[in-house]
Every structure is written in structure tokens, then in C-alpha cells.
């Protein structure tokens, strides 16, 4: 083998070197160079460990989620919009001096029903208040209610749902409770509770979450059941892992994405819930502005002064849709299948 | 059970075990029927049968995932099937570990390798301090030929063979006495099967382990198993020492399994064609069968009529093997 290689290498060598030379002048390959075989072939050291090294950069789940999310310009744009809306609706009302129980311009006919202009950005309403002030005050309260209710729903729902999904005993009676609750008309519960508890933030959030958590729990239960019997959970069981650790380490990390999807639907849904309840007169009450109450107040002017109706509705739509999109995109990014 | 094994210590004893699953309301499916065998300390006992024959079901009964509907399982002489104390349950978990069939499915994809391997250590608090735990994890990784820097990686970054070695490390770190390896190489590429088998053999020697090795292919177990049990439709049909089973296969199902293995043996080759294996269990007229010792340490599931045929076959094989010695 080595001789064969040598011969070929020398043949080639001679061809290159002797090109255009007189054949007599060429030196025979034997004399020319004494090639050291060791130089030609040195033994590559075989290191078994080397084949185990992973060359890919270190993977971190949350870093990948972040990278995937900010990798899209659209995501960044919508996120900025959401942050701006939320921040604005929390900051602006504290500077606006708007008080829903007060009507300082009620006797000033020249300030009523003004169309949007540079001076009155969203125009003015039937009692001379700035629609801009009313809408942002309402947006803030609606956001507070829906975010708080979502948080309560999700926390209670995830904890109960995770245990529910694991425990076959609990499943039997929880399913019955679920069936009963999901068949009672929600409006009935809301009406009864509003008569008992009255109006205000606490009662409204309670009304919205008192039965709603069970739907979250049911959703989580189904998800848990799907992955509960997967082999890696069996492996954990064989290693003596407790049910609680299984939930937090084996199950919930797999559910981040679907939970994000759920939240991204829950926040806008609860905003509409609040709007609906306020519209029905079961919401926050007279002393608080909310998007629902604002829209319900202004509905009668839909024909005569359309800006009064369409501005709060548009703000509601923008808030709901942008929150939904951000939630969906976060859910996508939280799915490791989208990670590169 | 057998004469020449009397002195040896039994680590796991499966006694007349039935395992059934509920299918639908009130219907039951018996996946394992009247299985009995002993596993001796320090040996590799193989359980071989085709897909769906109940191998996994039986293996999982030994780690208490599947409950037995009849019979009992003894570990070191103590019953571990049915209701047992929590202390005994923890004892079983520590001393019997499992290596899973599918390395892709048996690791938690959202946990680092460090967590996967430490899981058992955490649950039993088998370390003095953080430093000690890390040292143990590093040692376990090294034992299976992986590197300490793999600790912070996630399972999806590993190849099938590497994942299976993580699975082995996770079982080994518990320092168990018995390991149930459920087809540990069948999901792996052919090129790395030998590597995993060699690793398992090496670890067995180093750590004084006993294996219950589940496989669906006799050729795989020939070189690693000391004894082999052949299971067919939830019934154990033949148990023998490894070489014995290959030289003197008597049960028709064993012979049909051997057809998956290329055999340079004309007699078996001939028998393969002549024997059509029918489900004997379905024959209601046959007298009841039981495990019978046909050669020392060689058991076969048979009744009187079967025994005649089996003994005749055995004689032929003995003659043939003697000639070709
Ligand atoms: N949880 C279960 N519920 C109902 N039937 C089951 C269950 N697990 C297994 N079985 C049935 O029991 C029989 C034996 O299954 P088992 O998984 O033990 O087979 P196996 O020998 O391990 O096969 P393979 O080589 O494919 O892994 C099969 O017919 C299977 O359908
Ligand atoms: Mg199996």
C-alpha cells in the first residue's frame, strides 16, 4: 500500500517538476528524496471522548423563547403597542383629574358633543367631559379587572387541574362538579352575586372567577392526562419522584405553550366579560368608569354623535386584539418546536 | 427450581404471576399467564418473545408499575407485589431500576441531563452536599462514557445512543441490585447496539449487578444472557441456560423464534420448515400443561403428549450435537 502510494506520488512529482525538461536530466525517484514514512503517515490519536463532544452552542429554553419571539419584527411592533397601551392607561388617568361621579361642565352647552379636534382629542360627551379621559380611565379599570381575574383563574385552575389530571379518584367527582357548573347559566350566577355582594372591584372579580376557574382546571386536566402516562413520567416514577415534583418538573414545563395560548384568549375574553356585565348593569358600579360602562352609556349616541360610540369600541378592539396577538406569539415562541 | 442452581442466591422470584388489564367495562385481558421463574444474583436473565407477548408487562410488574392479578413476586425473599409498606416500596425503587426501551421518550425533554441523572439522588437524598451530588453525577456520566460538560445540556441535543447511556447512568446512580432492561437497544441504530451491550456488560461486572434483559430477538441475547426464558402470548414456554437453549431448543415456538437467527445447523434448519407452530392453548382437548424439566435446568411448557415429542426431538439434537462436537 505504502509503496503504491509512494510510486504514485513520485510519478506525479516527476511530471510536475520535469515538465519541459530533457528526460535525461531527470533523476530517478529512488535517488531523489528519501521520504520518511513517518512523516507521510502519522497515526491520528483516537480519542473516544472527542466523539461525544456536542458542538452546538449551549441550549437554554428561556433564551430560545426570547430569541424566537424577538426574531420577528411584527412581534416587536405589537409588543410595543401593548406595552404603550397598558402603560398609558395606567399612567394617564392619574394626571387627567377625571372623576366619573363629577360633571363640572354639565351646564356648559358649548362643551357638549364636540367632535374630535386638536383641542379635544377624542371630542367631548353628553355632559361635556373629555372622551379621551373617560376612555383611558375606563381602559385602566377594565384592564385591572381582567388581568386580576385572569391571574386568579389561571393560578387556581392550574393547581386544581394538575392534581385533577393526576388523581383518578378526584376525577370521578370533579367531572360531576364540572358538569353541574358548566350547565348553570353564568348570567344567573352573576346576577345573584351582584345582588348579594354589591358593586366594586372585589365583587366583580369574584363574580368573574367564581366558576370560571373550573374551565381552566378542566383544560389543564385534559392536557395533564395526555402527557401523564408518557414514558419519561414512568421513568420518574421508577426513580421515586413524588407526584408534586412530577407536576412541577415533568408536566407543567411541557404546558407552558398551551397555557400561554390559553392566557392570550382569557385576557381579551375577560375584558369582553367585564364589558358585558357592565353593559347589563352588573359591573363595577356608578363610581367607576370602565370600557363596558362607557360603551353602554354612549350606545344611544351611535347615530347622532358616532365618535362617542366608536372611539371606546375601537380602543376596546385594539387592546383585545393586540393582547391576543402578543399572547399567541409568546405561546408560539414557548413551543420548542419553533426553536432553531 | 433446578438441581445445579441450588446453591445460588435467588434475587427475584416470579411465582405464578398473572397480569390483566381492564379493557372496557368488566372485560379483562390477560397479558401474562401463570409466569414463574427465578433470577439468581449476578446473572443476566433474558426474557425473549415477539411483540405483544407481555415482556414489558411482566418486567413492569417487578417494579410495581403493573399490579399482579394473581401470584406473587419476591425480591430477596420478601414479597413486593400487592400491598406493601411505604418503606418496602422505597426499598424496591432503590434496588430495582429500569432501563427503558425508547431513549427518545424516556427522558424529560425540559430538564437538563444533570437533573435527569440527579432525580433519584434528590428523591432519596443520596448525597452529602451539592458538591457530592455533582461529583456523583460526573462519575455516572463518566461511567457511561459521557462528559461532565454534558450536564447542562438538554436531551434533544443527544443522539439515540447517548440518550440511552443517560438512561443507563440514571439507573446506575441509584446503585441498584437488579436492573430491568426493557429492550434497551432495539430503538438504537445497529452500529451502536454493540457499544451499549458492551457498556452494560462492563457495568455489570464493575457493580455486581443482576439483569433482567428483555428482548424480542434471540440473537441479541445469546452472547449476554446466562439464562433465557421464551415467552409466547403471555405464557413462558421454555427456560434454559443460554447455550442449552440454542443447542437443544425443544418447544416449537422457540424453534420458530430461532428462524429469525441464521443458524448453521441443518437439523434445526430442517425442523423450521417441518414445524408449523399452532396455538396450543386453543386446543380444549389437550390435557393441562405445566413447566417440566426436560434436561437439568431446562424447562419446557408441556403436557404428557408434548413431552414424548419433545424428548424425541431432544434425543435427535443430542445425537447431532455429539457428532458435531
Ligand atoms: N395498559 C394496557 N392496557 C391494556 N392492554 C395492555 C396494556 N399494556 C399492554 N397491554 C397489552 O398487553 C399485551 C402485552 O404488551 P407488552 O407491552 O407487555 O408487550 P411486549 O412483549 O413488551 O411487546 P413489545 O416487544 O412490542 O414491546 C399486548 O397485547 C398489549 O396490547
Ligand atoms: Mg415492550
Is residue A144 situated within a structural domain? yes
Locate the domains of chain B by residue range: 8-281+289-324
In a shared domain, residues A9 and A76: no
Rounded to 5 degrees, φ, ψ at B156 are -70, -10
Task: Note the pLDDT of residue A118.
Answer: 75
Q: Is the pLDDT of residue B182 over 90?
A: yes
Task: Note the pLDDT of residue A298.
Answer: 86
Is residue A57 situated within a structural domain? no
The H or E element spanning position A31 is: helix A29-32
B104 touching chain A per CB within 8 A: no
Residue located nearest, by CA, to atom 27 of ligand 1: B51
| Cβ atoms A207, A273 nearer than 8 A | no
In a shared domain, residues A231 and A184: yes
Residue located nearest, by CA, to atom 2 of ligand 1: B21
Least confident residue range of A124-133, B134-143, B294-303: A124-133
In a shared domain, residues A210 and A268: yes
Q: Which residue has the higher pLDDT, A199 or A23?
A: A199
Average model confidence (pLDDT) across chain A: 82
* Of A270, A274, A252, A316, the residue nearest A150 (C-alpha): A270
Task: Note the pLDDT of residue B262.
Answer: 57
What DSSP character marks residue A247?
I
Q: If you measure from the C-alpha of residue B32 to the centroid of ligand 2, how many angstroms do you get, rounded to a whole number?
A: 13
* pTM metric for this prediction: 0.77
Q: Least CA distance to B179: which residue of chain A?
A: A238
Q: Which residue has the higher pLDDT, A137 or B278?
A: A137
Question: Is B53's C-beta closer than 6 angstroms to any atom of ligand 1?
Answer: yes
Q: What is the pLDDT of residues B52-84, one digit of tens each?
A: 999 999 999 999 999 999 999 999 999 999 899
Average pLDDT estimate for A208-212: 92
Task: Note the pLDDT of residue B269.
Answer: 56
Q: What is the CATH number of the domain that holds A241?
A: 1.10.3720.10
* Domain encompassing residue A197: 64-338
Average pLDDT estimate for A88-105: 82
* Of A142, A146, A185, A154, the residue nearest A270 (C-alpha): A146
Distance from CA of B155 to the nearest CA of A (A): 10
Cα separations in angstroms, B276 against A121, A158, B230, B273: 91, 57, 17, 7
Cα separations in angstroms, B229 against B9, B40, B244, B296: 18, 13, 12, 15
Confidence of residue A295 (pLDDT cuts 50, 70, 90): confident
In a shared domain, residues A116 and A24: no
Q: Is the pLDDT of residue B260 over 90?
A: no
Cα torsion A209, A210, A212, A216 to 10°: value is 90
**What is the spatial distance between Cα B54 and Cα B237, in angstroms, rounded to a whole number?**
13
Residues 6+ apart with CB under 8 A from A115: A123, A305, A307
Distance from CA of A90 to the nearest CA of B (A): 37
In a shared domain, residues A120 and A174: yes
Question: Is B49's C-beta closer than 6 angstroms to any atom of ligand 1?
Answer: yes
Task: Note the pLDDT of residue B312.
Answer: 87
In a shared domain, residues A26 and A92: no
Nearest ligand 1 atom to the CA of B216 is 25
* Of B227, B214, B212, the residue nearest B75 (C-alpha): B212
User: Residue B49: nearest ligand to its CA?
Assistant: 1
Note whether B63 contacts A238, CB cutoff 8 Å: yes
- Spell out which residues of chain A touch residue B109, defining contact as CB-CB under 8 Å: 232, 254, 336
Task: Note the pLDDT of residue A156.
Answer: 96
In a shared domain, residues A246 and A108: yes
Q: Is the pLDDT of residue A15 over 50?
A: no
Confidence of residue B217 (pLDDT cuts 50, 70, 90): confident
**What is the spatial distance between Cα A284 and Cα A282, in angstroms, rounded to a whole number?**
7
Q: What is the pLDDT of residues A169-203, one digit of tens each?
A: 899 999 999 999 999 888 888 889 888 988 889 99
Question: Is B230's C-beta closer than 6 angstroms to any atom of ligand 1?
Answer: no
Q: Which residue has the higher pLDDT, A169 or A13?
A: A169
Q: What is the pLDDT of residues B90-127, one digit of tens each?
A: 999 999 999 998 988 999 988 999 999 999 999 999 99
Average pLDDT estimate for B201-211: 92
Q: What is the number of structural domains in chain A?
A: 2
In a shared domain, residues A205 and A271: yes
Superfamily of domain B8-281+289-324: P-loop containing nucleotide triphosphate hydrolases (3.40.50.300)
What DSSP character marks residue B65?
S
| ipTM for the predicted complex | 0.84
Q: If you measure from the C-alpha of residue B51 to the centroid of ligand 1, how many angstroms do you get, rounded to a whole number?
A: 8
Substitution site in B19, B21, B186 for ligand 1 pocket (most atoms within 8 Å of beta carbon): B21
Q: Is the pLDDT of residue A8 over 60?
A: no
Task: Note the pLDDT of residue A12.
Answer: 43
The H or E element spanning position B48 is: strand B44-48
**What is the spatial distance between Cα B252 and Cα A215, in angstroms, rounded to a whole number?**
57
Distance from CA of B7 to the nearest CA of A (A): 31
**Cell numbers of B85, please?**
409498606
Average pLDDT estimate for B296-300: 91
In a shared domain, residues A44 and A68: no
* Of B74, B37, B50, B40, the residue nearest B299 (C-alpha): B37
Task: Note the pLDDT of residue B281.
Answer: 52
- Spell out which residues of chain A touch residue B100, defining contact as CB-CB under 8 Å: 231, 234-235
In a shared domain, residues A195 and A265: yes
Is residue A200 situated within a structural domain? yes
Is residue A56 situated within a structural domain? no
User: Mutate which of B100, B107, B119 to disrupt the A interface (most A C-beta within 10 Å)?
Assistant: B119
**What is the spatial distance between Cα B221 and Cα A51, in angstroms, rounded to a whole number?**
28
Confidence of residue A10 (pLDDT cuts 50, 70, 90): very low
Task: Note the pLDDT of residue A133.
Answer: 87
In a shared domain, residues A33 and A135: no
Q: If you measure from the C-alpha of residue A330 to the centroid of ligand 1, how many angstroms do you get, rounded to a whole number?
A: 39
**What is the spatial distance between Cα B4 and Cα B240, in angstroms, rounded to a whole number?**
12
Q: Which residue has the higher pLDDT, A44 or A83?
A: A83
In a shared domain, residues A96 and A171: yes
- Pairs of CB atoms within 8 A across A/B: 82
Amino acid at each position: 500500500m505504502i509503496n503504491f502510494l509512494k510510486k504514485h506520488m513520485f510519478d506525479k512529482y516527476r511530471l510536475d517538476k520535469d515538465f519541459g525538461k530533457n528526460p535525461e536530466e531527470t533523476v530517478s525517484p529512488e535517488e531523489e528524496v528519501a521520504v520518511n514514512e513517518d512523516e507521510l503517515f502519522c497515526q491520528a490519536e483516537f480519542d473516544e471522548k472527542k466523539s461525544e463532544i456536542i458542538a452546538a452552542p449551549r441550549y437554554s429554553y428561556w433564551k430560545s423563547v426570547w430569541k424566537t419571539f424577538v426574531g420577528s419584527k411584527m412581534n416587536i411592533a405589537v409588543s410595543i403597542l401593548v406595552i404603550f397601551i397598558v402603560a398609558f392607561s395606567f399612567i394617564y388617568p392619574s394626571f387627567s383629574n377625571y372623576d366619573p361621579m363629577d360633571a363640572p361642565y354639565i351646564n356648559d352647552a358649548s362643551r357638549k358633543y364636540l367632535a374630535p379636534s386638536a383641542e379635544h382629542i377624542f371630542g367631548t360627551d353628553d355632559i361635556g367631559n373629555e372622551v379621551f379621559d373617560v376612555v383611558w380611565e375606563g381602559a385602566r379599570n377594565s384592564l385591572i379587572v381582567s388581568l386580576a381575574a385572569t391571574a386568579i383563574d389561571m393560578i387556581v385552575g392550574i393547581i386544581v387541574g394538575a392534581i385533577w389530571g393526576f388523581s383518578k379518584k378526584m376525577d370521578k367527582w370533579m367531572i360531576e362538579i364540572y358538569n353541574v357548573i358548566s350547565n348553570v347559566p353564568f348570567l344567573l350566577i352573576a346576577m345573584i352575586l351582584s345582588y348579594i355582594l354589591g358593586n366594586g372591584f372585589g365583587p366583580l372579580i369574584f363574580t368573574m372567577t367564581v366558576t370560571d376557574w373550573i374551565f381552566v382546571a378542566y383544560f389543564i386536566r385534559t392536557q395533564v392526562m395526555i402527557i401523564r402516562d408518557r414514558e419519561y413520567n414512568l421513568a420518574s416514577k421508577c426513580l421515586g419522584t413524588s407526584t408534586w415534583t412530577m407536576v412541577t418538573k415533568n408536566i407543567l414545563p411541557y404546558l407552558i405553550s398551551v397555557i400561554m395560548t390559553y392566557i392570550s384568549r382569557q385576557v381579551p375574553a375577560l375584558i369582553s366579560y367585564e364589558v358585558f356585565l357592565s353593559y347589563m348593569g352588573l359591573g363595577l358600579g356608578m363610581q367607576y368608569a370602565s370600557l363596558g360602562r362607557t360603551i353602554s352609556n354612549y350606545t344611544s349616541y351611535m347615530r347622532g354623535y358616532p365618535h362617542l360610540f366608536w372611539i371606546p369600541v375601537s380602543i376596546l378592539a385594539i387592546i383585545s386584539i393586540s393582547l391576543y396577538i402578543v399572547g399567541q406569539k409568546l405561546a408560539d415562541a414557548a413551543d420548542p418546536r419553533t426553536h432553531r | 427450581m433446578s438441581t445445579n442452581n441450588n446453591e445460588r442466591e435467588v434475587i427475584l422470584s416470579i411465582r405464578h404471576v398473572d397480569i390483566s388489564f381492564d379493557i372496557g367495562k368488566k372485560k379483562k385481558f390477560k397479558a401474562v399467564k401463570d409466569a414463574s421463574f427465578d433470577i439468581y444474583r449476578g446473572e443476566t436473565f433474558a426474557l425473549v418473545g415477539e411483540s405483544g407477548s407481555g415482556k414489558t408487562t411482566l418486567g413492569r410488574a417487578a417494579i410495581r408499575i403493573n399490579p399482579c392479578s394473581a401470584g406473587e413476586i419476591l425480591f430477596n425473599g420478601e414479597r413486593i407485589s400487592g400491598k406493601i409498606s411505604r418503606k418496602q416500596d422505597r426499598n424496591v425503587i432503590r434496588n430495582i431500576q429500569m432501563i427503558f426501551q425508547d431513549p427518545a421518550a424516556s427522558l424529560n425533554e425540559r430538564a437538563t441531563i444533570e437533573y435527569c441523572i440527579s432525580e433519584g439522588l434528590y428523591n432519596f437524598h443520596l448525597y452529602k452536599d451539592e458538591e457530592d451530588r455533582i461529583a456523583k453525577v460526573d462519575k455516572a456520566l463518566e461511567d457511561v462514557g459521557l462528559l461532565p460538560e454534558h450536564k447542562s445540556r438538554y436531551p434533544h441535543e443527544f443522539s439515540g445512543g447517548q440518550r440511552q447511556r443517560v438512561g443507563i447512568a440514571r439507573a446506575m446512580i441509584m446503585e441498584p441490585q437488579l436492573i430491568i432492561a426493557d429492550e434497551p437497544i432495539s430503538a438504537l441504530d445497529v452500529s451502536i447496539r454493540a457499544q451499549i451491550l458492551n457498556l452494560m456488560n462492563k457495568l455489570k461486572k464493575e457493580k455486581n449487578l443482576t439483569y433482567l434483559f428483555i428482548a424480542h430477538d434471540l440473537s441479541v441475547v445469546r452472547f449476554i444472557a446466562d439464562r433465557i426464558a421464551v415467552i409466547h402470548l403471555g405464557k413462558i414456554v421454555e427456560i434454559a441456560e443460554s447455550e442449552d437453549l440454542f443447542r437443544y431448543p425443544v418447544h416449537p415456538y422457540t424453534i420458530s423464534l430461532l428462524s429469525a437467527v441464521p443458524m448453521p445447523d441443518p437439523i434445526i434448519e430442517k425442523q423450521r420448515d417441518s414445524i408449523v407452530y399452532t396455538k396450543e392453548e386453543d386446543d380444549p382437548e389437550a390435557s393441562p400443561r405445566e413447566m417440566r424439566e426436560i434436561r437439568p435446568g431446562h424447562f419446557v411448557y408441556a403436557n404428557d403428549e408434548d413431552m414424548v415429542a419433545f424428548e424425541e426431538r431432544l434425543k435427535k439434537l443430542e445425537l447431532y450435537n455429539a457428532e458435531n462436537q
